[in-house]
Structure 1
Amino acid sequence: MSPNNRTTHTVTEFLITGLDEVQHPKLVGAAILFILFLILIGSITNICVIAFNKPLHTPMYFFICSLAMVDIVYTSGISVTMLNVLLGEERRVPYAPCMIQCFLFTLGSTMEPFAIALMAYDRLIAISYPLRYQTILTNTNVCLLIIATWALGCIFASLFTGLVNNLPFCDSNKLQYSFCEYAALVRAACVNPTYYFNTISAVGTTIDYIIVAVLKIASTKGRLKTLSICSGQLIIIALYILPRMCMYLSSNTGIRFSTDLHIVIIMLHSLLPPMINLLIYCFKTKDIKQSLMKIFKR
């Protein structure tokens, strides 16, 4: 029977089944909780240190604040359900919270490359146009760039959440994933998933083109200098893109990963980049580190 001929039902809640085969759920849940705690504390500390130190009110640190906010949204958007399943042993997720989680996860997924692209753009301007840096990246222009990227992220997140919100669901409300995400909801719906996966692929390609366009602004010499300076950001991009490519191949080619491998991939592209962000932009950034040392000495 084709998906369009099946009887649909009104879904009030979803059942998370992607974590059923985890052998040590409490241990995995404790690890996720610890990582989430570190990310939240580190990101909030980053934001507060920058907000209350006027010498740090520069374009680069404003972009770091934006990235920290992305990390908070991104990690908390997926961790709540996983912790509820692994530690609270509650697999049911009501419909509305599931859609909210889908929105937050999509927003974080979209904003992470945008935030990194803004920081790369800052370095490009500093390297290629050092004398015009302060006139190009004024505080007003920086705020407009940050607002524009967040607006784009909200538009994309609303688009995908709206698509899955209108999907018809058949006789099963089981999500064979770790939390409420776009791919999981499409798979559970009574539709042909090809169109919906092609849609997200098209938007993902558009985002990639935007980032590439930003990187093409400077000269070749400037880009080579940027590569040496922005090595940390390139590492984050690699950690972000490679696991997502594995998830994309799994969704579009029918390749099924084991439950443990699926969880590892989820944690790699969702929790590892924010951890690396903290190491690079909190503990290794001289000005932030000095500000933290002053606070601890007091």
Structure 2
Amino acid sequence: MSSLNASFSQNISIVHPEYFFILGLSGIPYSNYYYIFLFMIYFITVIGNSIVLFIIALDRSLHSPRYIGVFNLALADIGETNALIPNMMKTLLFDSQYISYNACLVNMFFVFLFSSMQSLTLVVLAYDRLIAICLPLRYHVIVNNSNMCFVFSAIWVFNSVIVASMVSLITQISFCKSNVVLSYFCDHGPVYRLACNDNYVNKIMGFLYSTLYLIAPMLVIGLSYLGIFFVVRKIRTWEGRIKALKTCVSHLLLVAIYFLPIFFTYLTSLLLYSTPNSRVISTSLAYAVPAMLNPIIYVLNTAEIKYIIRKAIRNRSVPIDRTSK
């Protein structure tokens, strides 16, 4: 009975602020120029990924396992961009630094959900390349449209549960010290560090998220390409090796653009001295820029998409003879 009363009193003592102040973007020099740059990133990201989604959805020749992955990546890119950049632009343009408690949790959920989808989509695309090169005769048996749709459906459900659990744990901590978040959005780490009660579980959850969606994907992708390179080495001709590796160029660029900026940003913040403004700018760009570059990479490095775009442009440029009956 005493333990029940203690638990009840502990729940009563939980304090949730009415709003948070997002102060990571305050004091950034030349903030107007950064706002314009963010607007360009947002515009290019939404338009570019929407074009990729539109092309893959309408062209039946692209209804294949690989492009199901590309479709999912473009969808995650648009989602993360809409969850992240508009709030940053609102803060810079209107100097509106506050966000309600519930809106903060919603913002945290969607940013981390779409970011985790980007990470695991790159893992699935690495698996696709591994099977295509190492087991080409069994590729269409192992990797097909139904299997790929099942995998991505499972990933969406898994990520939603993990991120929802991480966000729900925030509701179990009390904010009686401060409501100032030193980040550019409602980031999980800066928010739970404001707790004045035990935040050990939230700390563990943050470590689990980093392991699941940053460390583990990099290891899996690295092992996948290690296997690919071992198989490619056995190909006798240089032409065959180059042909096999060319199918991996787009994916390798996506992996490098997504993981390397995040890795080096956090590495330099730990090992080198950097000002808060420089950390905020570098971290925000590390998350925003890859979503902008992904559709550009796939359009420029994928022959099928370039052919469809050229075909559409040619069809639009052909004059219509309105006199013919």
Please say whether Structure 1 and Structure 2 have the same fold, judged by a TM-score greater than 0.5.
Answer: yes
**1:34 Cα deviation (Å)?**
1.1
Task: Please tell me whether residue 86 in structure 1 is matched to residue 92 in structure 2.
Answer: yes
Normalising by the residue count of structure 2, what TM-score does the alignment of the two structures yield?
0.80
| Coordinate RMSD, CA, aligned | 2.8
Give 1:148 shift: 1.3
Counterpart-to-counterpart distance in 2, 1:45 and 1:83: 24
2:258 aligned with 1:240: yes
Which residue of 1 is the match for residue 104 of structure 2?
98
CA distance in 2, matches of 1:60, 1:198: 35
Task: Give the aligned residue type for 1:139.
Answer: N
Q: CA deviation at 1:19?
A: 1.2
Task: Tell me which of 68, 71, 79 is aligned to 1:62.
Answer: 68
Corresponding residue to 1:138 among 131, 134, 144:
144
Letter in 1 for 2:248: C
Cα pair distance change 1:38/1:254, threshold 3 Å? same
Q: How many residues align?
A: 292
Match of 1:276 among 286, 289, 293: 293
1:191 to partner: Cα distance: 4.0
Gaps of 5+ in 1: none
Residue pair 2:184, 2:284 contacting (<8 A) in 1 also: no
**2-side partners of 1:257 and 1:164: how far apart?**
28
Instruction: Tell me how far 1:206 sits from its aligned partner.
Output: 3.8
Describe the shift of the 1:213–1:15 C-alpha distance in structure 2 as closer, same or farther (beyond 3 A).
closer
Provide closer, same or farther for how the CA distance between residues 66 and 11 of structure 1 changes in structure 2, counting only shifts above 3 A.
Answer: same
Match for 1:265 among 245, 265, 282?
282
Tell me the equivalent position of 1:179: 185
Give the Cα separation in 2 of the matches to 1:191 and 1:149: 33
Q: Deviations over 1:76-95 (max 9, x none)?
A: 21112211100122111112
Q: 1:189 aligns with which of 192, 195, 217?
A: 195
Following TM superposition, by how much is the alpha carbon of 1:183 offset from its aligned partner in structure 2, in angstroms?
1.3
Aligned counterpart in structure 1 of residue 118 of structure 2, from 112, 119, 144 = 112
- Report the 3-state secondary structure (helix = DSSP H, G, I; strand = E; otherwise coil) of the residue aligned with 1:14: strand
Task: Give the 3 Å change call, closer, same or farther, for CA 188–238 of structure 1 in structure 2.
Answer: farther
> In the alignment, is the contact (CA less than 8 A) between 2:253 and 2:297 conserved in 1?
no
Q: Is the 8 A contact 2:83 2:107 kept in 1?
A: yes
- The percentage of counterpart residues that share the same residue type is 27
Taking the aligned partners of 1:247 and 1:187, their CA distance within structure 2 comes to 20
- Tell me if 1:222 matches 2:231: yes
Moved more, 13-22 or 260-269: 260-269
Displacement of 1:25 after TM fit?
A: 1.8
Gaps of 5+ in 2: 1-9, 234-240, 317-325
Aligned amino acid, residue 208 of structure 2: A
> CA contact under 8 A between 2:133 and 2:228: conserved in structure 1?
no
Per mean C-alpha deviation after superposition, the further-off stretch among 263-272 and 157-166 is: 263-272
* Counterpart AA for 1:281: Y
Query: Pairwise mapping of residues 132-171 of structure 1 onto structure 2 (< 5 A)?
Result: 132-171=138-177
Aligned position for 1:21: 27
Structure 1 10/235 Cα, relative in aligned 2: closer, same or farther at 3 Å? Answer: same
Deviations 1:230-257 (A, max 9, x none): 3443343344334434665699x79874
- For residues 47-94 of structure 1, give each alpha carbon's deviation from its aligned partner in whole angstroms, at most 9, with x where no partner exists: 110100001111111100000011111122111221110012211111
Give the TM-score, by structure 1 length: 0.86
Amino acid paired to 2:283? I
